[in-house]
Structure 1
């Protein structure tokens, strides 16, 4: 195998590849969760959320491919198994549950924000610790996409103080006794 000579040591490249594999894992599990909610959403918000999540999982799919290709460009190999993704991801699944639409939105906002925080740390590490400004810029662009997706989701539920069952606080007409 030909030695890679791009101005980064093997140690620097390995450090960046490890960060990218965690970002790949997080993005992959967020994709799975977004698709699951896309399939399962019901209620008056069905169409708008179904379409929004369709747009978002397409972006996530493109990002997964881009992250994997960045790993390859640095001489590494991307994680490619479900077990590997689950092991390295900070994103948690919601097995056995079909939350209400507003809860789905809230869970995805939390996941995007968690990924954004992790990307900020990885951007700093790529720049300061590994001196890989190219990957720092690459991750910045991905972070900005997560910021926009989180904003779109937050905007969906902003302005309402919601109860766990999806009803609005203080609106007696909206209160339900439905259990999740």
Structure 2
């Protein structure tokens, strides 16, 4: 027998140090909280849009909130993969979120688009910050890859919303 194979313990191979887990889960939970705020805001617009743009915007917001719900699930499950606890209440989401929801009046349809554009732009910056931090301080390639994928999806939404603003 020419060589001896050493099998790594799965736990050693997969799980990160607790400090790294908390660091990663913190970033993921912040994105989870912000996505929750964006989801609720998008649902609000979907339910309350009126006027000549109603049909197109109603369909656009429907598509966006369904995508956001999927992103929520991905983020929460990734928090669990790194052995964190995913935020699970609106109270916790609001406390952690840095995105702020609309309060009070329902904006005009063109302002709904502008507000979502601003919120998605903010999300893009948050994703970039999280990716840079995880690249610098961890070797969690799974989370980095997922965040890069979600970043590209948010950037596409920013482009689409910006295109709608250009028409106004």
RMSD of aligned C-alpha atoms?
A: 1.4
| Paired residues for 1:98-177 under 5 Å | 98-160=106-168
Equivalent residues of 2:15, 2:82 under 8 A apart: no
Q: TM-score, normalised on structure 2?
A: 0.90
Q: Does 2:66 correspond to 1:35?
A: no
Q: Give, in whole Å, the separation in 1 of the partners of 2:32 and 2:42.
A: 15
Shift of 1:133: 2.0
Please list every run of 5 or more consecutive structure 1 residues that lacks an aligned counterpart in the other structure. 161-180
Deviation track 1:5-34 (CA, whole Å, cap 9, x = no partner) reads 315211111100000000000001100000
Runs of at least 4 residues off by over 6 Å: none
Please list every run of 5 or more consecutive structure 2 residues that lacks an aligned counterpart in the other structure. 1-9
Structure 2 counterpart SS, 1:121: helix
Equivalent residues of 1:116, 1:146 under 8 A apart: yes
Shift of 1:66: 0.7
Specify which structure has the higher proportion of helix: 2
Q: Does 2:26 correspond to 1:18?
A: yes
Q: TM-score, normalised on structure 1?
A: 0.84
